[in-house]
Amino acid sequence: MSPKFLRIAVVLGLLSAIGPFAIDMYLPALPSIGTDLHAGTAAVQMSLLIFFLSMGFGQIVVGPISDMVGRKLPLYGGLALFMAGGIGSAMAPTIEWLIAFRFLQGLGASAGMAIPRAIVRDLHTGNEAAKLMSLLMLVFSVSPILAPLTGSQIIENFGWRAVFWTVTGAAVLATILLATSLKETRPAEERVGSSFGTALAGYRFLMGDRNFLGLVAIAGFGIASFFVYLSSSSFILIDHYGLSPSVYSVFFSINAVAFIGMSQLTGLLSERFGLKRVVWVAVTGYATTMVVLFAIIATGVDRLDVTAALLFVGYGFLGLVIPTTSVLAMEEHGEIAGTASALMGTLHFAIGALAMGVAGVFFDGTPLPMVAGITLCAVISFALAKVTLGRSREAVEAPAE
C-alpha cells in the first residue's frame, strides 16, 4: 500500500470525521446542556436531530456542486460554514439559538460527508475502492472512540461550550490539510456539461435505479440503528444506569472499536468472497444479534453488561455493511459521482433522522425503546438485503480469482 494511498485515506477520513466529531464530543454534554439552558430532553435532542437533518439534506446540493466546480472548493465552503456554526453554538444563550447554529454547522459538515466518497470513486473502483473506503472508515471511526472521551474531559473541566470551540479548531486543521495534502480529483475537462439541470436528471435516474436505492437503504437503516443509539444512549447510560460522562464515553467507544476492527477486513473479505456476499453475511449477523438483544431486554433483563456485549457484536457486523454497500452503490455512477454520493448521504441521514424522531417519541428513560428501535432498523436492513441481493447463489458475486 503506497504512502500516497495512505495519505489520501487519512485526509479524506479527517474531512469525513468533522461532522461526526461534532456529534460524538457533544453526546456526553446533552444532560448538562439541558440543565444549563433550562431545556427539556426533547429540546436538547432537537439540537442533535437538526444537525443530522441539515448535514443530510445539505449533501443534496453540495454533491452536484462538486461535480460542476470540482471537489476542493465546496469543501472549503463547507468548512467555513462549519466553523461559523461552531462559534455560534459555543456562544448560544438559549436552546433556540443553539438549535439554529447547529443547523448551520450541519450544513457545513455536509460537504465533508458527501465529497470524500465522490473522491474515492474519482480515484478507484472495485476492490481498490473498497480498500480505500475501509481505510477512510478507519480514520473516520477514530471520532466515536476519541471524541466522547475527549468531550467528557473537556466538559468536566471547562463546560459544554468548550466542546464547540474544540470542534471549530478541528475544522481549522482540516482546512490546512485540505490545502496542503489533497489535489483536485475532478479536472476541468470532466466538469464540462455538469450543471444543476444534469444533477436533476442524475437524481431522477438514480431514483429509478432499484439496485442503487436498495444498497443505499441497506446501509441507511444500518446507520439509522446507530443514530437511535446516539440520541438515547447518554440519557440511558448516565441517568438510568448512573454512569459518569467519562465512563459513558468508554462504553460508547467500545462499540466504535468493534465497528472499526471489522471495517478493516472489508478489502480482504471482498477479495476472497465478493462484495455482495460480505454484505449479505454482515446484515444477517447484525439482524440476528439485535433480535437476540431485544428478546432479552423484552423479558425484563435490564443488565448493562449484556446490552453492551451484544451491541459490540452487532456493531462489528455493521462495520462490514457501510463501506461495502457504498462501493457497490457508486460502482456504476462514476460520471455523476458527486450527485450519487450526495443522494446516498441524504437518504442515509433522512432515514436516520426519521428513526431518531420516532425513537424519541417512545423514549421513557429505559433501554427497551432504544433497543426496539435498533432492532427494527436492523431487521429492515436485512429484509432490504434479501430483496436487493437475492437469496440464491446466482445473486451473489463469485469470489475473485
Sign of CA dihedral 69, 70, 73, 78: positive
pTM value is: 0.71
Query: What pLDDT digit, counting tens, does each position of 353-399 carry?
Result: 788 878 878 888 788 999 999 999 999 999 999 998 874 344 444 44
Query: What pLDDT digit, counting tens, does each position of 113-143 carry?
Result: 888 878 877 776 666 666 666 666 666 666 6
Query: What pLDDT digit, counting tens, does each position of 306-316 carry?
Result: 988 999 999 89
> Where does the pLDDT of residue 145 fall: very low under 50, low under 70, confident under 90, or very high at 90 and above?
low
Number of H helices, E strands in the chain: 18, 0
Write out the DSSP string of 38-71. T--HHHHHHHHHHHHHHHHHTHHHHHHHHHHH-S
Burial of 107-127, coded b for 16+ CB within 10 Å and e otherwise, reads: bbbbbbbbbbbbbbbbebeeb
Joined grid coordinates for residue 74 = 465546496
Query: What pLDDT digit, counting tens, does each position of 200-241 carry?
Result: 888 899 998 988 999 999 999 998 998 888 778 877 888 888
Per-residue confidence (pLDDT) for residue 395, from 0 to 100: 41
> Where does the pLDDT of residue 185 fall: very low under 50, low under 70, confident under 90, or very high at 90 and above?
confident
In angstroms, the CA 281 to CA 367 distance is 27
In angstroms, the CA 354 to CA 206 distance is 21
Per-residue confidence (pLDDT) for residue 194, from 0 to 100: 72
Exposure of 284 by Cβ count < 10 A (0-12 exposed, 13-18 middle, 19+ buried)? middle
Per-residue confidence (pLDDT) for residue 393, from 0 to 100: 41
**% of the chain with per-residue pLDDT over 90:** 26
Per-residue confidence (pLDDT) for residue 396, from 0 to 100: 41
Query: What pLDDT digit, counting tens, does each position of 56-91 carry?
Result: 788 888 888 888 888 899 999 999 999 999 999 999
* pLDDT higher at 186 or 394: 186
